[in-house]
Amino acid sequence: MASKLTAGDLQIVTRIAVFRGLKAETVEQIVAPATAVMLLPHEWLVRQGDPATAFFIVIDGWVKLYRSTASGDDTVIDIVTKGDSFAESVAFTGNRHIATAEAVSEARVARIPADHIVRCIRASPDIALAMIASVSQHMHHLVQQVEQLKAQSGVQRVAEFLSSLASTKQGHCALALPYDKILIAGRLGLTPESLSRAFARLRTIGVVVDASHVVVKDVAKLRQLAADGRGAVRCTLRPVN
């Protein structure tokens, strides 16, 4: 069910990268018709192949973006959270959604109609430049993901993922996994079994995983492991029997 955006929602929505550099009054005009959609876990917002009539901003919770093959297999493209936007490019070109968006947890998502954005762009071309910059940022993020999949070992991908969740860049840290391990594995291009083996190998450097709770003895060491070459990683981590 859709509802009006609250004052708190607007604080999040108006600060996203897409609107960076635009005047406050221009942003207010863009988000004027926006509505908030509440999603339950596993509830989808849009499906792959649906006509794109809006773009979206996550206000709260986690949303999974994934593609399905003809054989029924799913590939996780991204997992977005508070302050992230998605579906800008397809919405403005009138194309169809290239991925399904499904809530991982309870989520609140702002929906901005594409036809309204097009009218705003015609009135203020600066908006188009902001949109292009946002799409470029998404492309850069996807390139980084491809590079990570090709250049990093599985254990390094896990190390980088855990490092990104840490509240500090060095020293001891306790954190919680934001969603289930099967989804984490899919996000990192791993099988659940490979993820479990990576967690086990990371115990060598003081990373302890208990269900969704993680304790990291030395965040700086974890970050360094993610950045090292594969040869250095093999020397750092002892084999787990």
pLDDT tens for residues 121-139? Answer: 888 888 888 777 777 777 7
The CATH number covering residue 145 comes to 2.60.120.10
Kindly write down the DSSP assignment for every residue of 2-33, as one continuous string.
EEEPPHHHHHHHTTSGGGTTS-HHHHHHHHTT
- Among residues 209, 217, 224, 216, the alpha carbon closest in space to that of 177 is found at 209
Q: What are phi and psi of 144, to 5 degrees?
A: -60, -40
Q: Tell me what pLDDT residue 237 has.
A: 62
Among 112, 131, 149, where does a domain finish? Answer: 149
What's the domain range around 184? Answer: 152-236
Per the domain annotation, does 37 fall within a domain? Answer: yes
Per the domain annotation, does 241 fall within a domain? Answer: no
62-65-66 Cα angle (round to 5): 140
* Exposure of 13 in the CB half-sphere (CA atoms within 13 A): 26
Q: Tell me what pLDDT residue 214 has.
A: 96
Same domain, 135 and 197: no
pLDDT tens for residues 148-175? Answer: 777 788 999 999 999 999 989 889 999 9
Same domain, 118 and 189: no
For residue 229, what are the contacts with CB-CB under 8 A and spacing of at least 6? none
Share of the chain above pLDDT 90, in %: 57
Per the domain annotation, does 15 fall within a domain? Answer: yes
Same domain, 42 and 145: yes
Contact 60, 108 (CB under 8 A): yes
Same domain, 96 and 111: yes
The CATH number covering residue 178 comes to 1.10.10.10
Same domain, 131 and 160: no
Q: Tell me what pLDDT residue 234 has.
A: 54
Q: What is the DSSP secondary structure assignment for residue 176, as one 8-state letter?
A: E
Contact 157, 40 (CB under 8 A): no
Q: Tell me what pLDDT residue 22 has.
A: 83
Same domain, 69 and 7: yes
Same domain, 58 and 112: yes
Residues 21, 110: Cα–Cα separation, whole Å: 20
Residues 106, 84: Cα–Cα separation, whole Å: 16
Amino acid at 80: V
Per the domain annotation, does 57 fall within a domain? Answer: yes
Q: Tell me what pLDDT residue 151 has.
A: 75
Number of domains in the chain: 2
- Give me the sign of the Cα torsion angle 49, 52, 53, 54: positive
Looking at every residue in the chain, the average pLDDT score rounds to 88
Same domain, 126 and 10: yes
Same domain, 130 and 25: yes
Same domain, 214 and 183: yes
Q: Tell me what pLDDT residue 236 has.
A: 59
Q: Tell me what pLDDT residue 107 has.
A: 96
pLDDT tens for residues 52-82? Answer: 999 999 999 999 999 998 888 888 988 999 9
Cβ-based burial of 143 (10 A; exposed 0-12, middle 13-18, buried ≥19): exposed
Per the domain annotation, does 189 fall within a domain? Answer: yes
Q: Tell me what pLDDT residue 220 has.
A: 94
Same domain, 89 and 144: yes
Q: Tell me what pLDDT residue 145 has.
A: 73
Query: Sheet holding 74-81: strands in order across?
Result: 44-46, 100-103, 62-68, 74-81
Kindly write down the DSSP assignment for every residue of 145-162, as one continuous string.
HHHHHHHS-HHHHHHHHH
For residue 229, name the pLDDT band (cuts at 50, 70, 90): low
Encoding tokens for residue 150? 């090709």
Same domain, 116 and 41: yes
Among 105, 125, 149, where does a domain finish? Answer: 149
pTM higher than the cut 0.85: no
